[in-house]
Structure 1
Amino acid sequence: MSIGAIELGGVFILNGILGALLVLAVFVVMERQFAVGAFGGIGLGGVVIYAQATYGEQLLTVTVQGMKLLVLAAAMGAVLGVVTTVMAIEPEL
């Protein structure tokens, strides 16, 4: 199965939303306990990446080139979500 623009767009948008939600959750926890929020965010981010990779592997049968495109779209979407949320909230940590 080849990866089309719709799939790449979906991955980009989904990861943007997940990145924004992760940042918001980490900020809320960090306001109470800094270390717990920081390490919890790293752990939760790892769980999200693992879950997406596992689900994507079961859902799609893609070529190596298609997988590279999905990884790039996921990374760009997550970075965009994190940066946008940080710029919108402007936390004082």
Structure 2
Amino acid sequence: MAKSLRSKSKVAARRVKRSDPTSIYKITAEQRIQKASARLVALSKAPKISSTSITQSSAEDDDDNEGSESNGAAPPPQSCVCWSQIRSLLSS
């Protein structure tokens, strides 16, 4: 019984998609594209991080925090600010 209900609902969903090509699905796809393009623009305007600056800052952190490494918790590197900005842009 449950199997026949599932197949009926799938058939009904296919009919909706086929009958109206400008349905909800197309609108949400356009909105997804707009959001993705806005994120790309925001990321392109974000400050660039070079690999040399990351290695230099992590080397400086290692030199400064030799005594604090005994507890096993290393402080976050300087580039975490940029990653948190990227995460907030992606989540919005």
Give the structure with the larger helix fraction.
1
Normalising by structure 1, we get a TM-score of 0.33
Structure number with the bigger relative contact order (C-alpha 8 A, sep ≥ 6) is 1
Which structure would you say has the larger Rg? 2
**What TM-score results when the alignment is normalised by the length of structure 2?**
0.34
